[in-house]
Structure 1
Amino acid sequence: MSSSASDPMYAIQQIPGKGKGLVATRKIPMGTRILSEKPIIRFPEAAPDSQKLEASIRRQVDVLTPAQRQSFLSMHNLYADDGGSQELGIIRTNALPFGDNELEGAIFLDACRINHACDNNAQKSWNENIKRHTIHALRDIEKDEEITIYYIAVVNNREARQEAFRRKFAFTCSCRLCSLPPDQSQESDRRLDEILKLDGLIGRDGLMGILSTPLRILRYVDQQICLYNKQGPNDVGLPRAYLDAAQIAIANGDLARARIFTERAATGWTILEGGDSSKVLQTRALSQDPSKHHFYGMSTKWKTAVDDIPGSLDSTQLEDWLWRREKPKQPGQPADLRNRTTFPAFTDLPSERDVDAEFYSSAITGNARSTGHGQPRWHWLFLAEIVDFATLVRLQMDVKDVDGATVPLFFYTDGRGSELAPSQVRKGYTIAILYAQHHAFMFSEPGIRHEEPTKLKSTGWNKNGHKADCKLLKDADLKGLFSLDWDNFERRVEFPLVTGTV
């Protein structure tokens, strides 16, 4: 359903403190196309010649009907005192993006009247297939409710948003989101900051990250979507996040999960842009056969067929399967050394150079970044076998992780590694490091920089060798550690660990 000229869903009215705006004349259901409009004036966003731009605008204004010209010239002009033409000032104030690449701007008589809100109830987009600017309801809009869109590209925290509005549009936003009580506003800002942080982590390593650490990147997307859903329904970032998840699955051969992720992305974009938008049509086609994506075939690590979706799962179980979430440990159940969340390989560890939102619920800044200070979301332990060692300026080791990768480990403790007795530094022994992190050395390949003696333990395995079963550990401290409730973080633990205190 969409609005027609003879029976519009909205009326242009005077809005207190805002000038004119669009108000719903009846209830508008979520996903409804509220308007579909052709531009009356077009112009390039980055015009190389202002005189040519002014001439182009004058020609387009001259051919407008009297009613169109009157409506256009009555629009707000932030630049009336800048010395430019009235027409150019109105365009600079009110233009909306035009074209799929958004390198042009345009004036739409109705859409350009829509006011801003940070908790907007409608979404603007250019539909290249029908060559029109469209507005869709993000949620149900009640009769007599103002229709609002979001003006800027990125949904930042309140302070950053307000600064952008003052700089670009010369107003201070007083929408519901910007008027929340301080505690609720801070919580909203925390979610928005974390969403942006996760966005950077998801895309930081590109395709290489998707192939080398797919589970970690998928967890970032999972966390991001949870934050989007807490922030509000049908956030414009949700479809993009689901498509990110689909690409991770496709690149690793998992067509079953890719199918669900692409279906969800298409559903989200249908609400935002309508079923005839290019994004919806392309994503729906991809959901039918995810193997058509150019990422498919790069890895078969997670290989599934498109129909390999398990049946008889309730909604919670389906989500856990979809996102490859680890099953929570039952009370009294020993830790599972195969759990990559609790016992990560080197490639799964957080990096010291970034605040890793997967591992930490609060920021790590300054000196705390290198020491691992901050609030972990859970406990984790890096386990590796000593394959070589040497002592020059400090103790250094080559250790082999669960994936068989050899990683350099350098001791930057006060004793430069002398805290370990010679009997503990042996090839074949196992190194256990609590809260280990990636470190980028200037003189070596990436590895682990160890600084806190109480966070590392070295122990031997029994005669049966290096087995993935904690019962084989002779060390009493490690036995106690494996009974720890890894998923619930209350305080940092350290060695020596007294059995029975965790």
Structure 2
Amino acid sequence: MYELKDVPGKGKGLVATRIVPQGARILCEEAVIRIPHNLDQPSSEKLKKYVCQQVNALTEQQRLAFLSLHNIYPYENAAEQYIGIICTNAFSIEDGETAGGVFLEASRINHACDNNTQKSWNENIKRHTIHALRDINEGEEITVYYLAAHNSRQARQEALRAKFKFSCSCGICSLPPEQIQINDDILEEIDHLDRLVGQRGLQGILSSPLGTLRYLDREIQLYNMTGADDPGLSRVYLDAAQVAIVHGDLARGRIFAEKAVRSWRISGGGDSKNVTEYGALPQNPSQLPLYGMSMQWKRAVDDVPNALGSTEFEDWLWKREASPRSGAQVGLYNRATFPAFSGLPEDRGVDMRLYRGSGQPRQHWCFLAEIVDFEFLARLHMEISDVDGRKIPLFFYTEGRGSELEPARLRRGYTIAILYAQQHAFMFDEPGIRQEDPARVKVKPPNDIRLTPRRCS
């Protein structure tokens, strides 16, 4: 499947000797040397002694192979040489006891930021595995990603030089500057969305399922723009499955779970920890412990629309609503233009789904709600009800503290419209809206606009 060959500019590396299909297990290897967590300080005398004992216990062939591995660290004696080789080539071992280990075959695989394989520790079989993330052509070098996070090109290059003493010249690192910037922007937006979903946690899934689903939808779109079957896809699909299942939608939950498990099989194999843990979820999504905490999206597991094209199916799956053409009129129930509170972006940071880097909106949206009650103490405070019937607080942090609104229009039952509204997490109240720009607020009589709750499909 592969052979060790000279690779221009990289020394030795593994090169495919035939076409390797996506998901194929290229390597399944035991460590010849392991470093426990309690001995992972390079200057430790105990570590030096421990490493020397392990190297001396190798067979002659293993020892020669170990000593031929690259070493970026200077050394004055055998112990320092061994530790330098380990620090240069070790992969993590996630068994709770071991910091890392040296694998004679896997340690030969060079880095690329557009890597074509995924390295991972398989605790079920106690082996380090390498799987093809995409089809690998005969004669193509097999590569992995050395770093922990996919950051910007500059950040990656700095980390590689600091830790491994080389610069990467892979396909995406050698793109023209404008293409590098586009790729960096994609990675930055993925990271931003990932952190937003993490910050929201279960509370976000429960209180704003559609908003959370839109974050995840955007993440998948961004991953697809990179053209890679990234291992991060599985985590995003699992999050989407949880959102659907928590709210009773077993059909979407099953499909998202299938996509997550497929991605895990590709990157880690059918015996990997995640496949073992979640492999049965597509067959029985209701087994998720959080199933049915809300049943607002209740849908049977086989209740999936037929005869949809691929684009229409994805739109249904992600509960998308088409954004209107410029100048086109839309109905008030178009959730892309008139979202419920759950579909509003949060005001913590810039939501790259809806804003450009300049801070200008990518699209227009307007939040509509009915005034349930109001009071004017230190500032104008309203209780409003959105199109889903959810009651939320609205506080005016304008210069006039809300006095800019026409008093005659402050009436229960009137409709308030807020352009580019955002969710705000109040310390003293439920999540709501903190409004700072009075020019983006209009209040209309009930005969002009009437809102009634509508159930989402």
Instruction: Provide the rounded CA distance (Å) in 1 between the counterparts of 2:393 and 2:210.
Output: 23
What do the CA deviations read for 1:157-176 (whole angstroms, capped 9, x no partner)? 11111111111111111111
Would you say the 8 A contact 2:371–2:413 is kept in 1? yes
Instruction: Provide the rounded CA distance (Å) in 1 between the counterparts of 2:425 and 2:199.
Output: 16
What is the DSSP-based 3-state SS (H/G/I as helix, E as strand, rest coil) of the residue aligned with 2:5?
A: strand
Question: What is the TM-score of this pair, normalised by structure 2?
Answer: 0.90
What is the DSSP-based 3-state SS (H/G/I as helix, E as strand, rest coil) of the residue aligned with 1:177?
A: coil
What amino acid sits opposite 1:170 in the alignment? K
Would you say the 8 A contact 2:210–2:342 is kept in 1? no
2:7 matched to which residue of 1? 15
Report 1:356-435 matches (<5 A). Answer: 356-362=351-357, 374-435=359-420
2:437 matched to which residue of 1? 452
What is the DSSP-based 3-state SS (H/G/I as helix, E as strand, rest coil) of the residue aligned with 1:160?
A: helix
Q: 1:278 to 1:412 in 2, by over 3 A?
A: closer
Q: Report the Cα offset of residue 279 of structure 1.
A: 2.1
Instruction: Provide the rounded CA distance (Å) in 2 between the counterparts of 1:437 and 1:98.
Output: 43
Q: Report the Cα offset of residue 209 of structure 1.
A: 1.0
1:121 matched to which residue of 2? 116
Residue of 10, 19, 23 corresponding to 1:31: 23
Q: Report the Cα offset of residue 468 of structure 1.
A: 4.4
Instruction: Provide the rounded CA distance (Å) in 2 between the counterparts of 1:323 and 1:388.
Output: 34
Instruction: Provide the rounded CA distance (Å) in 2 between the counterparts of 1:292 and 1:390.
Output: 46
Residue of 215, 218, 227 corresponding to 1:223: 218
Instruction: Provide the rounded CA distance (Å) in 1 between the counterparts of 2:72 and 2:351.
Output: 42
What amino acid sits opposite 1:17 in the alignment? G
What is the DSSP-based 3-state SS (H/G/I as helix, E as strand, rest coil) of the residue aligned with 1:146?
A: coil
Q: Is 1:281 the counterpart of 2:273 in the alignment?
A: no
Q: Report the Cα offset of residue 187 of structure 1.
A: 0.6
Would you say the 8 A contact 1:28–1:140 is kept in 2? yes
What amino acid sits opposite 1:18 in the alignment? K
Coordinate RMSD, CA, aligned: 2.6
Q: Report the Cα offset of residue 265 of structure 1.
A: 1.5
Question: What is the TM-score of this pair, normalised by structure 1?
Answer: 0.83
Structure whose alpha-carbon radius of gyration is higher? 1
Query: Which piece of structure 1 moves more, 226-235 or 126-135?
Result: 126-135
1:72 matched to which residue of 2? 66
Q: Report the Cα offset of residue 442 of structure 1.
A: 5.9
Q: Report the Cα offset of residue 441 of structure 1.
A: 5.0
What do the CA deviations read for 1:288-340 (whole angstroms, capped 9, x no partner)? 11111222132212122221122222212211111111255589975333333
1:44 matched to which residue of 2? 36
Residue of 324, 335, 341 corresponding to 1:340: 335
Q: How many residues align?
A: 450
Residue of 179, 185, 194 corresponding to 2:180: 185
Instruction: Provide the rounded CA distance (Å) in 1 between the counterparts of 2:287 and 2:430.
Output: 37
Query: What residue ranges of structure 2 are gaps of 5+ in the alignment?
Result: none
What is the DSSP-based 3-state SS (H/G/I as helix, E as strand, rest coil) of the residue aligned with 1:36?
A: strand
What do the CA deviations read for 1:245-304 (whole angstroms, capped 9, x no partner)? 111111111111111111111221222122232322333211111111222132212122
What is the DSSP-based 3-state SS (H/G/I as helix, E as strand, rest coil) of the residue aligned with 1:288?
A: coil
Query: Which piece of structure 1 moves more, 332-341 or 346-355?
Result: 332-341
What is the DSSP-based 3-state SS (H/G/I as helix, E as strand, rest coil) of the residue aligned with 2:66?
A: helix
2:262 matched to which residue of 1? 267
2:145 matched to which residue of 1? 150
What is the DSSP-based 3-state SS (H/G/I as helix, E as strand, rest coil) of the residue aligned with 2:39?
A: coil
What do the CA deviations read for 1:51-83 (whole angstroms, capped 9, x no partner)? 332222222111111111011012122222488
Q: Is 1:61 the counterpart of 2:55 in the alignment?
A: yes
Instruction: Provide the rounded CA distance (Å) in 1 between the counterparts of 2:89 and 2:281.
Output: 36
What amino acid sits opposite 1:70 in the alignment? L
What amino acid sits opposite 2:434 in the alignment? R
Q: Report the Cα offset of residue 466 of structure 1.
A: 3.9
Q: Which aligned runs of 4 or more in structure 1 are off by greater than 6 angstroms?
A: 330-333
Q: Report the Cα offset of residue 46 of structure 1.
A: 5.1
Query: Which piece of structure 1 moves more, 81-90 or 191-200?
Result: 81-90
Q: 1:131 to 1:301 in 2, by over 3 A?
A: same
Q: Report the Cα offset of residue 199 of structure 1.
A: 0.7
Q: Report the Cα offset of residue 11 of structure 1.
A: 1.4
What's the % identity of the aligned pairs?
58
Query: What residue ranges of structure 1 are gaps of 5+ in the alignment?
Result: 1-8, 364-373, 470-502
What do the CA deviations read for 1:209-246 (whole angstroms, capped 9, x no partner)? 11111111111111111111110221121112111111
